[in-house]
Amino acid sequence: MPLKNKRFFIVLAAGFACLVLGSVFIDSYVAAAARGRIASAGQARPARAILLLGARVYPDGRVSPVVEDRVRTAVDVYRAGGAKKILVSGDHGTKYYDEVDTIRKRLTAAGVPDEDIFLDHAGFNTYDSLYRARSVFGADSLIVVTQRFHLPRALFLADRFGIKAEGVAADRRKYRDEAHNERREFFARVAAFFNAVVFRPRPRFLGPPIDLSGDGRVTWN
């Protein structure tokens, strides 16, 4: 192999190694955000609101096991006095797919008063959910409810947006896609780092401020 080609492959290999090592470092850095900040439903420090992050729901009103467990956990935190309001943030990008209202109906059925349920229809991803929680809903403190694998990224983003946050893990069973979720989360943490630290994009939608101390029904459809 000519010397020029050898040098090219050496530089290419070194660049790839730096990319891999850098990604591993960033993943570990983001994961560290959750250290000492995951509490049980009854031990979470009082906050402005409980942030219930959305996930897969179905047109017939069914929800995925992940969502079902997030709802049950958020209700536990609410009943324990962690916060007086629940902010449901998820994807309602079209009239045919609505995470937040589907979840809202579950919360209502569980006995959470309507006025205590706020809906963020434009929480299309975790970055947007935390950005909007601070910029639109004025949340300076949150109890974030999601599965344990997801909490480090959510808490890292909360830090970047100036939100004092603690997490409560919603894991109440074994999930079919656990291994896939863990692999995917590696790349999601790296992407979250660059979004929150380097690029800081604005969410697709923002809108006027909404007061979390008011009546949550102003955010319903």
Question: Is the per-residue pLDDT at 186 higher than 60?
Answer: yes
**SS3 letters across the chain:** CCHHHHHHHHHHHHHHHHHHHHHHHHHHHHHHHHCCCEECCCCCCCCCEEEEECCCECCCCCECHHHHHHHHHHHHHHHCCCCCCEEEECECCECCECHHHHHHHHHHHCCCCHHHEEEECECCCHHHHHHHHHHCCCCCEEEEEECCCCHHHHHHHHHHCCCEEEEEECCCCCCCCHHHHHHHHHHHHHHHHHHHHHHCCCCCCCCCCCCCCCCHHHHCC
pLDDT > 90: what percent of the chain? Answer: 84
Question: Is the per-residue pLDDT at 93 higher than 80?
Answer: yes
Q: What is the pLDDT of residues 149-166, one digit of tens each?
A: 999 999 999 999 999 999
The band of 4, judged by pLDDT with boundaries at 50, 70 and 90, is: low
- The model scores a pTM over 0.85: yes
Q: What CATH number does domain 3-219 carry, 3.60.20.10, 3.40.980.10, 3.40.50.620, 3.40.50.980?
A: 3.40.50.620
Q: What is the pLDDT of residues 27-67, one digit of tens each?
A: 999 999 999 999 999 999 999 999 999 999 999 999 999 99
Q: What is the pLDDT of residues 133-147, one digit of tens each?
A: 999 999 999 999 999
